[in-house]
A and B are shown apart, each in its own frame.
Chain A
Amino acid sequence: MNNDITVVQTLGVVVLGMGTVFAVLVLLWALIIAESKILEAMENNKKAAKAPTTATPAPSAPVAKPAPTAKGSCGGVMLHDVPDRTAAMIMAIVADELKTPLNELRFISIKEVK
């Protein structure tokens, strides 16, 4: 391509360039979703194959269904007399002290000791 480029030609490059970036990243998006679906299906197949070999458990008393949690969540944290804001600060401080990302920690409950 000639190095001396007009503004109109540059506009063409801008449109094509942004289009290419979006096209490649949207393609990656689709591939990531496909990858996760395929792996999930393989995991489910493995579990299904293992299931018949295990003994059927004896019928037990119905268990209360746990409350639904956010996708990927480790569950909710029980707060006893602790406002949300304070709980968030405590969790952040613990994560900082342990040098561990917050999403790798599981908090069961936070209770104010009076």
Chain B
Amino acid sequence: MEFIGNIFSNLATQTGFYALFANGGVSALKTIIMIVVACVLLYMGIVKKFEPLLLVGIAFGMLLTNLPGSGIYNPELWYAGSGMNINFGHVLHEGGFLDILYLGVKLGVYPSLIFMGVGAMTDFGPLMSNPKSLLLGAAAQFGVYAALLGAVCMGFDGNVAASIGIIGGADGPTAIWLTSKLAPNYLGAIAIAAYSYMALIPLIQPFFMVRLVPKKERQIKMEQLRTVSQTEKIIFPIMVTIVCCFILPSVAALLGCLMLGNLWANCGVCDRLSDTVQNALMNIITIFLGISVGATATADQFLKAETLMIIVLGLAAFCFATIGGLLVGRVMCAVTGGKINPLIGSAGVSAVPMAARVSQVQGQKDNPTNFLLMHAMGPNVAGVIGSAVAAGFLLATFG
């Protein structure tokens, strides 16, 4: 009878309910709040369709990591002592399921592989046919640096401020890549802010488009784009890789993978590989990335005043990125004598292709015969390169 009693006692002490209250009421309350937050994020991903492919995984990872007693993610393996001196052998030996998946984030593997798929799916043709749209992609990086300045003013140290700033690049993999290197403790909050605001672009950007660009300029019809030859499309990724990586070697993994994916898609002799990185590999890495990033959002790391500040700064980053793109768009409109519709400037915030779609929708509201989508794709893909360059600069500065 005593034996049976011991079994029940053991079972009882191993349950999540026991573990929930083992560390006191405050800890239990934090865990319950995190489970509620995870469920809210799941709702936003599934019902509201906020970047569901990543947000559902992130939210579920957050749910798993906060289940008491599961031991599938152990922050102490990653954050004990100096963040730069992780004992990877210890992680492999002692780590749980999500610790093993998190290795790909920590080592910068997943964001780079995601970029490979993004590169294969991206058509740089609109950018090459209208290369001055690169200026709009650069201008939209203003959000990154405005948020960096704001974060320092709010008391964050340089590494964390740089990671918060990169939210303004509106590029999830870039934000995860930089944050995992500079401020891994804040990865969960920054990734959630980045993907949530990307989903909110159709609500954020039109507010500034209508207020910063006069209706007359919003109605401008742009000239049809020239056709870009296949040879140009093949040379472009090779050229970008060489130029950018010579200037900022720290960005080689991210930008190199983006351009390799694009080269596979355009060279015409690697169709199988292009298909794999666009579909199978992209889906597999999205699964790993989502769950493992969500796993970093433990109660101790997430339920802090800093998380709210990151949410506010992330919104500011997106707003300033949009403003930067629109204002430089207006300057270019004036310089070219009204040949450029400033609405395409807001597409410079990356977030392919959603930001370009927003430019198209707003443009058609003001002039139903206007088709800005292909013109907006230029700054949009320029924004991807621009945010990668900005991330490389920040890593070289703070890393």
Residues of A within 8 A of B (CB): 1-7, 10-11, 13-14, 16-18, 20-29, 31-33, 35-36, 39, 70-73, 84-85, 88-89, 92, 101-103
B226 adjacent to A72 (CB under 8 Å): yes
A1 adjacent to B368 (CB under 8 Å): no
A25 adjacent to B389 (CB under 8 Å): yes
A4 adjacent to B158 (CB under 8 Å): yes
A71 adjacent to B224 (CB under 8 Å): yes
Given A25-B386, A103-B374, 17 more contacts at CB 8 Å?
A5-B158, A10-B161, A11-B149, A13-B397, A14-B146, A14-B148, A17-B144, A20-B389, A28-B244, A28-B385, A29-B134, A32-B236, A36-B232, A70-B223, A72-B129, A73-B224, A101-B374
B390 adjacent to chain A (CB < 8 Å): yes
Question: When chains A and B are docked, how far (Å) is the Cα of A52 from the Cα of B100?
Answer: 67
State how many angstroms separate the Cβ of A39 from the closest Cβ of chain B: 6
State how many angstroms separate the Cβ of A11 from the closest Cβ of chain B: 7
Q: Which residues of A contact B148 (CB under 8 A)?
A: 10, 13-14, 17
- B interface residues, tally (CB under 8 Å): 51
In B145-176, the 8 Å CB interface with A consists of 145-146, 148-149, 152-153, 157-159, 161
B161 adjacent to A5 (CB under 8 Å): yes
Q: Which residue of A lies closest to B228 (CB)?
A: A36
In order of increasing CB-CB distance, the 6 nearest A-B pairs are: A72-B226, A5-B158, A25-B134, A14-B145, A32-B131, A88-B369
Q: Which residues of A contact B393 (CB under 8 A)?
A: 16-17, 20-21
Q: Which residues of B contact A22 (CB under 8 A)?
A: 135, 138
A25-B368 contact, Cβ under 8 Å, with A72-B225, A73-B224: no
State how many angstroms separate the Cβ of B398 from the closest Cβ of chain A: 6
A39 adjacent to B229 (CB under 8 Å): yes
What would 21 A/B residue contacts be, using CB atoms closer than 8 Å? A1-B397, A6-B152, A10-B158, A13-B145, A16-B397, A17-B145, A17-B390, A17-B397, A18-B142, A20-B393, A21-B389, A24-B244, A25-B137, A25-B138, A28-B131, A28-B134, A29-B131, A32-B236, A39-B229, A39-B231, A39-B232
B394 adjacent to A3 (CB under 8 Å): no
Q: Which residues of B contact A71 (CB under 8 A)?
A: 223-224, 226
Q: Which residues of A contact B247 (CB under 8 A)?
A: 20, 23-24, 27
Q: Which residues of A contact B159 (CB under 8 A)?
A: 3
Partner of A103, one of B224, B382, B390: B224
B239 adjacent to chain A (CB < 8 Å): yes
Question: When chains A and B are docked, how far (Å) is the Cα of A6 from the Cα of B148?
Answer: 12
Q: Which residues of A contact B141 (CB under 8 A)?
A: 17-18, 21
A3 adjacent to B371 (CB under 8 Å): no
Q: Which residue of B lies closest to A74 (CB)?
A: B224
Q: Which residues of B contact A17 (CB under 8 A)?
A: 141, 144-145, 148, 390, 393-394, 397
B243 adjacent to A29 (CB under 8 Å): no
A10 adjacent to B149 (CB under 8 Å): yes
Question: When chains A and B are docked, how far (Å) is the Cα of A18 from the Cα of B169?
Answer: 12
Q: Which residue of A lies closest to B247 (CB)?
A: A24
Question: When chains A and B are docked, how far (Å) is the Cα of A16 from the Cα of B172?
Answer: 24
B267 adjacent to chain A (CB < 8 Å): no
B240 adjacent to chain A (CB < 8 Å): yes
Question: When chains A and B are docked, how far (Å) is the Cα of A6 from the Cα of B157?
Answer: 9
A21 adjacent to B158 (CB under 8 Å): no
Question: When chains A and B are docked, how far (Å) is the Cα of A28 from the Cα of B226?
Answer: 18
Question: When chains A and B are docked, how far (Å) is the Cα of A84 from the Cα of B371?
Answer: 13
Q: Which residues of A contact B153 (CB under 8 A)?
A: 7
